[in-house]
Amino acid sequence: MTTPDPTTAPPRASGPRLSVVIPCLSLDEYLEDCVSSLSENDCFPDTEVIVVVDGPQPTGVPAGLAELENVTVIATGARSGSGAATNRGRVEASGQFIARMDADDLSLPGRLDAQLAFLAEHPQVQVCGGGGPLVDDDGREIGHYPAHPQGDARHTLLDRNPVVHSSMVMSAALFDELGGYDPSCIRMQDYELLLRAALRSPIHHFGDLPLVAYRVHGAQTSTRAHGFLRLMRTIHTRRTALARKLGRPRAAQAMSDAVYSAAQAARYAGLRKPRYLMGARGPR
């Protein structure tokens, strides 16, 4: 199935302020918990939630989702990757802002309210996000995403991605201007999108304020990658463009890129844990 280009989506005359797009492979308990966690925001009744099944249309929708009037379930028809699935969800979205959640993560109480309030008070910022605790299958805290100071995270993006994907909220206008996610980036699509977004907007990080709980479990697909060399070339191209904009010397960025590539190669070869899991407790 060809993924619709989000830039062809019709202009929105009116609609909810926020659209949450959740790509998933199945309508499982993780997804139900994810959607339920979004309800712990004052903005939830006026927020649309678009669940995109990356594959065939499911034959049934769990009662917990079906009873929520602001939840829509659609399907791509065939596996296309979470980036392409999110782009498909954007076509259906009518919000001024787009929030993207992984189906196995949890939104912490009030975090969407806080993010929308910040974006309203700082119109020059079109992207925001942050970190939060790491949790296991049962939702028990086992660690914390690496700390980052509150403020603009663009310089940090030159070395690593400090923003948990599920915490990211972006203006729909910027998402469309960027053309959405790069479907060819099966992994690191969040980092690649943020690097492009950083050329046009500050990337506000909420620092110590926890936004989402990142679930760590054995079925995660983010620990595997295909086309690693092509992916690294794409990421390096984006980092180089941002380094040029921010004025980092070419040699310093080249050194950072070399360190990053080595760390990612070791990660995907199974020789080291991802950076965000270094301090996690319990078995991987």
Per-residue pLDDT tens digits for 211-240: 999 999 766 555 455 678 899 999 999 999
Contacts of 98 (CB under 8 A, 6+ apart): 18, 19, 20, 21, 90, 169, 170, 171, 172, 175
**Residue 66 — pLDDT band, cuts 50, 70, 90?**
confident
> pLDDT per residue over 69-119, tens digit each?
999 999 999 999 999 999 999 999 999 999 999 999 999 999 999 999 999
Q: How far apart are the first and last CA of the chain?
A: 35
Task: Tell whether the model's pLDDT for residue 41 goes beyond 80.
Answer: yes
Give me the pLDDT at residue 11, please: 41
Give the mean pLDDT of the chain: 89
Whether the Cβ atoms of residue 183 and residue 3 lie closer than 8 Å to each other:
yes
Give me the pLDDT at residue 278, please: 59
Q: What is the mean pLDDT of residues 255-259?
A: 96
Q: Which two tokens stand for residue 14?
A: 């009116």
Q: What is the mean pLDDT of residues 33-39?
A: 96
Q: Where are the beta strands (DSSP E) in 132-253?
A: 133-135, 141-144, 151-152, 169-171, 203-205, 212-215
Whether the Cβ atoms of residue 167 and residue 130 lie closer than 8 Å to each other:
yes
Give me the pLDDT at residue 173, please: 98
CA–CA gap between residue 203 and residue 45 (Å, rounded): 27
**Residue 151 — pLDDT band, cuts 50, 70, 90?**
very high
Give me the pLDDT at residue 241, please: 98
- Cα–Cα separations (whole angstroms), residue 64 to 22, 31, 99, 209, 218: 16, 10, 21, 29, 25
Q: Which two tokens stand for residue 62?
A: 């769990």
Percentage of the chain modeled with pLDDT above 90: 75
Please count the helices (runs of H) and the strands (runs of E) in the chain.
9, 12
Whether the Cβ atoms of residue 159 and residue 147 lie closer than 8 Å to each other:
no
